[in-house]
Structure 1
Amino acid sequence: MDEARLRSLTPAVLGVLVRRGADFAAAEDAVQEALIEAVRTWSADPPRDPKGWLVTVAWRRFLDATRADDARRRREELVDEEPPPGPAPAVDDTLQLYFLCAHPSLSPSSAVALTLRAVGGLTTRQIAQAYLVPEATMAQRISRAKRTLSDHGVAPARRARGRFDRPGDVATVLRVLYLVFNEGYSGDVDLAGEAIRLTRQLAARIDHPEVAGLLALMLIHHARRASRTAPDGSLVPLAEQDRGRWDTSAIAEGVRILRAALARDRLGEFQAQAAIAALHADAPTAERTDWVQIVEWYDELALLTDSPVVRLNRAVAVGEADGPRAGLAALAALDDALPRHTAVAAYLHERDGDVVTAARLYAEAARKAPNLAERDHLTRQAARLNTARRSP
């Protein structure tokens, strides 16, 4: 039984049930039961039409649940007649499912979990392992998300058709996929790889330059994955990474996708971020990075987002392009409570030759670090400077 094949069929099967009249929550439950049945039986007797088999079994599970629940009797007008057997229709509702899972009533964490379940086809256990939370906790999160959609009347896909071309809808879906990507990977699920797979699906179904921009950004960032950590698990900064370990084919694909998106002259934040990533990837060494052009892209990105985090990263780029004191001047205009502000200040002070201040700030930044790997890296930086300062 091919698990990847099952996962790829999940959104199509779910879409069929929703289109037939099942509400999202009930349809998703029925599809999960059909998948369990497929895992149990397919190895011995695989069907000739896997999608049709899943649709038939899931629809019957939905009917059984509907008829058994007195509170849902009003739905029986929709489901009184079971569709005739035969091949499943070739209609693809994956795009609709993306937007349902990114419904504005859901929190970001709930939208991510629901996207991984309904569109990605992952099990609750796999999602829980990836997020390092108990399976029961993730099950509750997914159940609440589905209940929220039901409470907001998100039912048959036909009710929602026509609203998927609004920019806000696309932006919400992309934000969810970006959150999935940034979670990285743990357990037996590579969330970064899963985000790329899902974004490829979306790019194949919707012609939007920001979808292409996000896919390009993911590909270029993911291409550096093998060089981001040392054998002992410690972080390796971009400037110190072994560029020979970068995946040049993924970078080339990302750059090709980005160029096509930029040619449409509808710049968005993910395209701008991808352009910055591409400039880093294009440099043969850290010293030959085109920092002046990177600053220009950060200026564009700041206009698009007005994000203090973007301005923080711009201060680093200014420090590289125009010298550390220019970077410190740009940093001084920002709130020092920003995440990574202290770490950036430490780096720029070190570049300016003030190792005493830099060591103190690295140690302070380590205490504020959001995760162990970053804390260890910053602690090592502080120790390195203190050791060098004390050496004769």
Structure 2
Amino acid sequence: MSELHSKHKNFNFAEGELLLINKPYRWTSFDIVGKVRNAFKPLKLKVGHAGTLDPLATGLLIVCTGKMTKQIDTFQAEEKEYTGTFTLGGTTPSYDMETEIDETFDTAHLTEEILKAACAQFTGEIQQYPPAHSAIKVNGERLYEKARRGEEVELKARTVTIKEFELTRIELPEVDFKVVCSKGTYIRSLAFDYGKAVNSGAYLSKLRRTRSGNFKVEDAWEVMELVNFIRKPLPNPPREGGLSEQEGLNILEEPDPARVYRENADPLVYEPLKGNSRSNRHEPTEAENVLWQLLRRDATGFKIRRQHVIDNYIADFVCLQKGLVIEVDGGYHQHTKEADADRTEMLNHWGFKVIRFTNEEVIQKPQSVFETIRQEIQALPDRQSKVLPPGEDLGGASL
């Protein structure tokens, strides 16, 4: 591993660092930059990435901080290596799994010989049309914005170089591949063009960037591994006179559990649920309102939150300190037993105990319900936060 990005070097983020990050599935490149930038708060540091990865792709993303951002263009220009999967027999408007299949094709004629021979057509310098669903700007607007509105998109061919293109697995309708290519190559377009070359159709169903220049994904940080490293406490007490700006980068305050979840959550899931939770607070059911009047203002001796997002769910009530979730079943929150079991399993995974009451119990015996909750909270030890990177285990968010 080069000293430039070694995990064991002494970092100076303000002066400038190059960071290798293993981008998770469904994260945008901007999500990664935002996560790293937020880790430095309250300090404001310049952070940028070198080479966009689509949300459905995973793998190596180069992120630069401070003065190193001036070298982003240099890193972007390096050749890239990818592995992934084409699915034959169909096409999609986006050339990947972001959109639904719009046309199907026969694959009965495809043999290993035909499939491997077609790779040669795409080796060397070629002309390639980018997907209509791409971030390329035309007259100041991204192409994907026009495509999503159903507007006609005029595409212009671009010259790219594919140094290597080989198939590593053939199990129709899927073929795995390895590609080494120049900056600006769209692997989605390669999938589409490859499908036509074998008299069928194809779309990109899996993509991972394994190398950019001399930088390899096996040397990369996991997102939360890096974030937690940036926030780690100083090994020694601060000197008299306070902290320097650089020392301040390494301070990790004892996190508020709600903030820890918010900063580790998958933004594609968390933000919509957060909006729903606000709506639920403004329009509670009768039973929820009755219970909230009893639980509010720390009536149990501990802070209770209502309509709080945890992973892919909204908990009716939760005591984060004690790890107790209180669910009121009925009304528009009514679930099937199977859904309730999945929900409880997820909450247990993150270290929460779940207790449930029916609408009738809350409305008819509110004081009895309150006393049960109070006793449960007081009997529980303080909960230990469980922090995992997005994408791991049950939904990849922590609280």
Higher strand share goes to which structure?
2
Greater relative contact order (Cα 8 A, min sep 6): structure 1 or 2?
2
User: Which TM-score band (shorter chain)?
Assistant: under 0.3
TM-score (norm 2): 0.25
Structure with the larger helix share: 1
Larger-gyration structure (1/2): 2
